[in-house]
Amino acid sequence: MMEKLQRQPGYAHDAMNVIYRLVNAGCHEIAHQIFSTMRVPHVGEGQPQAPTAGAFFIKHLVKSGTTVIVIVVFTGVFCYN
């Protein structure tokens, strides 16, 4: 189903809203799959990764009361990919 998603103007905003709802419902893996379809901000010189890549996802995991283990797993995904 992920390959059927159309990335048109407004896609990032809609994807973020869906990710928020999925995280609230406890569907962290699916939320991460949708997050991975979003474009990452441009990486500047000397930066190993875009500064805000994944920040909203991790922040919402924390705010929604997700267990620390799950948050650490996703933090590792963002750090090592």
Q: Give the pLDDT score at 64.
A: 92
42 phi/psi in degrees, rounded to 5: -60, 140
The continuous run of DSSP H or E covering 20 comes out as: helix 11-24
Confidence tier at 28 by pLDDT (50, 70, 90): very high
pLDDT (average), residues 20-34? 92
pLDDT at residue 15, as a whole number: 87
pLDDT at 68: 92
pLDDT digits (tens, 9 = 90+) for 48-80: 655 566 788 889 999 999 999 988 888 877 665
How many Å apart are CA 72 and CA 39, to the nearest integer? 23
Q: Say what the pTM is.
A: 0.71
pLDDT tens for residues 32-50? 989 888 876 666 666 665 5
